[in-house]
Amino acid sequence: MTTLTIRRPDDWHLHLRDGQMLESVLPQSSEHFGRAIIMPNLVPPVVTTKLAASYRDRILAALPEGHDFTPLMTLYLTETTDPDDVEAGFRDGLITAVKLYPAGATTNSQSGVRDLKKVRPVLERMAKIGMPLCMHGEVTSPDVDIFDREAVFIETVLGPLRESLPELRIVLEHVTTADGVDYVQSQDKNIGATITTHHLMINRNAILVGGIKPHYYCLPVAKREKHRLALRKAATSGDARFFLGTDSAPHTDPLKESACGCAGVFCAPNTMACLATVFEQDGALDKLEAFASLNGPAYYGLQPNDATLKLTRQDEPVTFPGKIQVGEDEVTVFDPMIPIHWTVEVSP
């Protein structure tokens, strides 16, 4: 197959930041993607519908002419979130989902949740109105090995929560382990999971072999090869519970290339070309549309996009800019470390 036309994809987990960074990175997503779930971990975080409304306005103001892109806003869950504000935002159509960060789990998560009991009234309200909860699925206790954080989260937090509130619609975000895949596949309703492009392409060797490679460091951290293979199998299977969330998370190079570098991989610019390569390698190009364009809207109760995206296989490898400029600084683009042969065009 040398060309493939799919419905325009959506990104169900995206960091756009704010200000100068927002202006520089937004076009990289809005060119190919019709919609994206926008992460609320700004500094300070987006904790109320009022803050989300003004953040949405800033995103729309930064959108290049001719790009058709809808930001789907989320609220950052804290132990003082007001269930009435959440419900009002959801009913107005302003807020699509609530995001749970366990406190201290990742970049800008200091105001996250320490004790799930404190947010129980919000979760109960969300279950009642059918509003999805996006979960960063990692525990943060210092005695849990960082490579086990996801599996322990599923066992000690997610499992019990779903038993006590089965009607709550959950998105287990950026799954990185076979444990995550198995758990999601063992559940028959109210659960979906996003998978990033980079977790389909790299394992933890990318970060640690031949010198430390900060641009491959993100959270959840990439795991060993058997986990990457389990993610590949889930993503390319067509299983409606799995869909694309790039977790494209830009940080400027000085912040990544540091003695205490930030977590985050910036994969927005070449995500669709990389995914075409992954699905081609696995003989599953016919499942790319389900993963990138159909399963996500179906889980969120939305229609797929009308426009289409055309992917074309080139004989010669395609090159991408290694970095994009952000003001005086640069942000490094995800390097998949294998040749990519696909170009991507949006058609009306």
Q: Which residues are catalytic?
A: 247
Residues 167-206 that bind Zn ion (CB under 5 A): none
Q: Which does 263 bind (CB under 5 to 8 A by kind): Zn ion, ligand NCD, none?
A: ligand NCD
Show the tokens assigned to 246.
Answer: 């790039």
* Strand partners of residue 37: 72
Note whether 194 binds ligand NCD by CB under 6 A.
Answer: no
Q: Which does 41 bind (CB under 5 to 8 A by kind): ligand NCD, Zn ion, none?
A: ligand NCD
Stretch of 49-57, 66-74, 101-109, 150-158 lying at the interface with ligand NCD (CB under 6 A):
101-109
Q: Smaller CB distance to Zn ion: residue 268 or 284?
A: 268
Q: Smaller CB distance to ligand NCD: residue 106 or 140?
A: 106
Site string for Zn ion, 239-258 (x = CB under 5 A): --------x-----------
User: Under a CB-based contact definition with an 8 Å cutoff, are residues 248 and 263 in contact?
Assistant: no
Q: Alpha helix locations (H) across the chain?
A: 19-30, 49-62, 83-91, 120-129, 149-153, 159-164, 178-185, 197-201, 205-208, 225-236, 253-256, 271-281, 288-289, 295-300
Note whether 256 binds ligand NCD by CB under 6 A.
Answer: no
* C-alpha span between 199 and 278 (Å, rounded): 11
Residue nearest to Zn ion (CB): 247
Note whether 103 binds ligand NCD by CB under 6 A.
Answer: no
User: Under a CB-based contact definition with an 8 Å cutoff, are residues 158 and 119 in contact?
Assistant: no
Note whether 106 binds ligand NCD by CB under 6 A.
Answer: yes
Q: Smaller CB distance to ligand NCD: residue 45 or 304?
A: 45
Note whether 10 binds Zn ion by CB under 5 A.
Answer: no
Q: What is the largest CA-CA distance in the chain?
A: 56
DSSP conformational letter for 266 = -
User: Under a CB-based contact definition with an 8 Å cutoff, are residues 236 and 291 in contact?
Assistant: yes
Task: Kindly report the number of other CB atoms within 10 A of residue 161's CB atom.
Answer: 18
Cβ at position 26, least distance to ligand NCD in Å: 15
**Could you please report the per-residue DSSP string of 94-126?**
SEEEEEE-BTTSSTT-TTSBS-GGGGHHHHHHH
Query: Counting Cβ atoms within 10 Å, is residue 109 exposed (0-12), middle (13-18) or buried (19+)?
Result: buried
Q: Given candidates 16, 218, 268, 284, which one binds ligand NCD under the rule CB under 6 A?
A: 218
Residue count, binding to ligand NCD (CB under 6 A): 12
Residue count, binding to Zn ion (CB under 5 A): 1
Cβ at position 107, least distance to ligand NCD in Å: 4
Between strands 3-7 and 308-313, the pairing is: antiparallel
Cβ at position 219, least distance to ligand NCD in Å: 4
Can you give the binding site for ligand NCD, defined by CB under 6 A? 15, 41, 106-108, 136, 218-219, 247, 249, 263-264
